[in-house]
Chains A and B, each alone.
Chain A
Amino acid sequence: MWRFSVGGMIELEGLTKRYGEKVAVNNLTFAVRPGIVTGFLGPNGAGKSTTMRMVLGLDHPTAGDVRIDGKHYDQLKDPLTYIGALLEAKAWHGGRSAYNHLLCLAQSNGIPRRRVREVLETVGLTSVARKKTKGFSMGMGQRLGIAGALLGDPRILMFDEPVNGLDPEGIHWIRNLMKSLAAQGRTVFVSSHLMSEMALTADHLVVIGQGRLLADTSMADFIARNSKSYVRIRTPQRELLLDVLHTAGITAVEAGNGTLEVDGGKAEQIGELAARHGVVLHELSPQQASLEEAFMQLTAESVEYHAHSAAPQAQPAEQQPWGEGWRRS
């Protein structure tokens, strides 16, 4: 992977952000490389958006550092042609038309006017370019945000929850867009709270929970490690079956609810063994641990305390880091 490291690197070094007592981002260290899509995964409120805002110099880190090819964001002389970002939805004035919104962005970085039409075409908003953005649906808003990110044709792209509010067609489009951007050698850094979404687009995975780094791994590794297959068995003759399996050299583990689990895809073998020894089976089913489950296990700590955080199932607000309730209890 080091052959990519000529440019377009985002490097975080012990990045920390505290809001008063709450720690939104806790000592994050990782790098985002060019040429691949890096997924930034975490439950709501894990600190993904805060991290992205610090990359863009919007929020000042409490401690640590984040650099883009060795520079702080505010040292970039040509920010939009270097790094394009889609932050939260609808970060613009609703009374301005899509065209004028993009035009004022283009002018601020000396980007030629024709690029505005080009990106509007790319995201499919040409027909509503002169309309006020106030009337835009969530999906159209996302497209305008993506147009803004693409405007400078930058080598680094950051998307914060880009599939939010998009229809299936739009989701398909943004997936392909991200892959093709990465294939051109760009750095693509995309956040999501959906593992399934990341599994389809990301080549590399950074997982955070409660602001802490939980995993920094290639997608292939993550899948290999976490999506193991196993066989689930239910039987009224547990002891007999365990004996039979033991003799055959198969290890079964109790999985609660009176079910047994056997690693690997051995359903046929177990079925034949059971038939030969006259063991009654109520269930014999091959299972695949989903990536979603693996992700939930990884972030279980945050989720656990999430459930404890407030008595009447009150949801903490989107932007609130989860630390608060946990500390009080």
Chain B
Amino acid sequence: MSTPQPPMPQTAAPNWQAAPGSSYPTYTSPIPVVRTHLGHALASEWTKIRSVRSTMWTLGVFVLLVVGIGLAAAALVAANSSGAGLSEENPLSFGFFGLLLGSMCIITLGVLTTASEYGTGMIRTTMTACPTRGRVLAAKAIVFFAVAFVVTLASVLLVALADVAMLDAREPSGEEWLKGTVGISLYIALLGLLSLVVGSIIRHSAGAITIMIGVLLAPLVIALFMFSQSLEDLQRALFEYSIPNQLSVFYEQSLSETGPSGWDPLWIMLVVTAAAFAGAYALLEQRDV
């Protein structure tokens, strides 16, 4: 054993006493009884997410990827371009590569938030402490979404400011700023939330992460191998609605002319996540823990 055996407690019995004066006890505790609500569950989930190292790891790597690759891409372009070629470009779009890779970290953290409780057995403790299962799922979703959104927004904003300063591109419009920072951060946080929900459905970390990475990359990869004429429509749809392409829509750099545009990706992800959430809630109520 790496950890020393703890010393024995001095007293055999706990040092709190039954309420005085009650001749026949059912035991009455001195601890105030509180009607629990969502706020309690939120506090609990916040403690959980900040007290495990996997959160620090996944978010640390995420920030590293987004900021690192974002700055490196901008520096590389700035060093190699003569200036004239960039003048029509949206400088925010150089954050894309880092964010695409970084989204895998958010997916992992999302899945771990729910699925790891099934792996460790913690879920039984959690559900005993809060038998309203929907409340547990809601609290996890809210806490995770807030964390993912704030961290993504901070990283993206940093990269955006650096890109605008470093590159000789045009000044982005107000809507481009909004889409390229807040919009894309909401999208990434929703992608993470979808992973959290999938983790709750699959109840297995590795399985759920695999599925989500598949969702992220498979459509694009599959579309690459669709050579047949008859599949052309399907190939185009897979391209256009693949998550990397949806991400690029936030920079108005879609790989194609048709397909989602403007704020569409956000609404698509919102609908998909809401549907998955409803499914996860129904399953959670129904299944044994």
CB–CB A127/B129 < 8 A: no
Chain B 254-289 against A: per-residue CB contact (8 Å), 1 yes, 0 no? Answer: 000000000000000000000000000000000011
User: Is A107's CB within 8 Å of the partner chain B?
Assistant: yes
CB–CB B6/A108 < 8 A: no
B44 is contacted by which of A4, A8, A79, A105 (Cβ under 8 Å)?
A105
Chain B 91-106 against A: per-residue CB contact (8 Å), 1 yes, 0 no? Answer: 0000000000000000
Least Cβ–Cβ distance between B92 and chain A, in angstroms: 36
CB–CB B13/A177 < 8 A: yes
Q: Which B residues are CB-close (under 8 A) to A186?
A: 25-27
CB–CB A91/B12 < 8 A: no
Given contacts A57-B131, A78-B35, A154-B29, contact A108 B40 (CB under 8 A): yes
**Interface positions of B from 180 to 239, Cβ below 8 Å from A:** none
CB–CB A173/B8 < 8 A: yes
Task: Give the interface segment out of A130-138, A189-197, A287-295.
Answer: A130-138
Task: Give the interface segment out of A92-100, A207-215, A224-232, A240-248.
Answer: A92-100
CB–CB B120/A176 < 8 A: no
Q: Which A residues are CB-close (under 8 A) to B80?
A: none
B129 is contacted by which of A7, A108, A115, A153 (Cβ under 8 Å)?
A108
User: Is B252's CB within 8 Å of the partner chain A?
Assistant: no
CA distance A77 to B40 in the complex (A): 12
**Interface positions of A from 1 to 41, Cβ below 8 Å from B:** 3-4, 6-8, 34-35
Q: Which A residues are CB-close (under 8 A) to B120?
A: 90-94
CB–CB B27/A184 < 8 A: yes
**Interface positions of B from 13 to 40, Cβ below 8 Å from A:** 13-18, 22, 24-36, 40
User: Which of A6, A92, A125 has most chain B Cβ within 10 Å?
Assistant: A92
CB–CB B122/A92 < 8 A: yes
Q: Which A residues are CB-close (under 8 A) to B41?
A: 108
User: Is B124's CB within 8 Å of the partner chain A?
Assistant: yes
**Interface positions of B from 97 to 142, Cβ below 8 Å from A:** 116-117, 120-122, 124-132
**Interface positions of A from 21 to 75, Cβ below 8 Å from B:** 34-35, 53, 56-60, 73-74
Least Cβ–Cβ distance between B211 and chain A, in angstroms: 22
Task: Give the interface segment out of A80-88, A252-260, A307-315.
Answer: A80-88
Q: Which B residues are CB-close (under 8 A) to A6?
A: 24, 26
CA distance A325 to B161 in the complex (A): 68
A95 is contacted by which of B18, B24, B52 (Cβ under 8 Å)?
B52
Least Cβ–Cβ distance between B196 and chain A, in angstroms: 16
User: Which of A92, A103, A107, A176 has most chain B Cβ within 10 Å?
Assistant: A107
Task: Give the interface segment out of A116-124, A268-276, A297-305.
Answer: A116-124
A77 is contacted by which of B24, B31, B35 (Cβ under 8 Å)?
B35
Interface size on B, residues (CB 8 A): 58
CB–CB B44/A108 < 8 A: yes
CA distance A211 to B43 in the complex (A): 39
| Residue in A closest to B125 when the chains form the complex, CB atoms | A91
User: Is A152's CB within 8 Å of the partner chain B?
Assistant: yes
CB–CB B54/A95 < 8 A: yes
CA distance A103 to B44 in the complex (A): 8
User: Is B51's CB within 8 Å of the partner chain A?
Assistant: yes
CA distance A73 to B175 in the complex (A): 51
Least Cβ–Cβ distance between A14 and chain B, in angstroms: 19
Least Cβ–Cβ distance between B131 and chain A, in angstroms: 4
Least Cβ–Cβ distance between B124 and chain A, in angstroms: 5
A140 is contacted by which of B5, B16, B31, B122 (Cβ under 8 Å)?
B5
CB–CB B35/A137 < 8 A: no
User: Is A139's CB within 8 Å of the partner chain B?
Assistant: yes
CB–CB A107/B288 < 8 A: no
CB–CB A124/B36 < 8 A: no
CA distance A76 to B48 in the complex (A): 23
CB–CB B52/A80 < 8 A: no
CB–CB A91/B51 < 8 A: no
CB–CB A87/B125 < 8 A: yes
B128 is contacted by which of A79, A94, A143, A153 (Cβ under 8 Å)?
A79
| Residue in B closest to A81 when the chains form the complex, CB atoms | B33
A58 is contacted by which of B6, B28, B47, B127 (Cβ under 8 Å)?
B127
CB–CB A180/B13 < 8 A: yes
User: Is B82's CB within 8 Å of the partner chain A?
Assistant: no
User: Is A319's CB within 8 Å of the partner chain B?
Assistant: no
User: Is A110's CB within 8 Å of the partner chain B?
Assistant: yes
A96 is contacted by which of B26, B45, B48 (Cβ under 8 Å)?
B48
Q: Which A residues are CB-close (under 8 A) to B13?
A: 176-177, 180-181
10 residue pairs, one from A and one from B, having the closest CB atoms: A185-B25, A110-B34, A180-B13, A108-B44, A74-B131, A100-B51, A91-B121, A7-B26, A153-B29, A176-B12
Residues of B within 8 A of A (CB): 1-9, 11-18, 22, 24-36, 40-41, 43-45, 47-48, 51-54, 116-117, 120-122, 124-132, 288-289
Inter-chain pairs besides A35-B26, A79-B129, A87-B128, 20 sampled, C-beta below 8 Å: A7-B26, A58-B127, A58-B128, A78-B36, A91-B120, A91-B124, A92-B120, A97-B51, A100-B51, A105-B129, A107-B40, A122-B9, A122-B15, A126-B6, A127-B4, A135-B2, A137-B3, A155-B29, A180-B13, A184-B27
CB-defined A-B contacts under 8 Å, sample of 6: A73-B131, A81-B34, A92-B120, A135-B2, A170-B8, A184-B25
Residues of A within 8 A of B (CB): 3-4, 6-8, 34-35, 53, 56-60, 73-74, 76-81, 85, 87-88, 90-97, 100, 103-105, 107-112, 115, 118, 121-128, 131, 135-137, 139-140, 143, 148, 150, 152-155, 167, 169-170, 173, 176-177, 180-181, 184-187
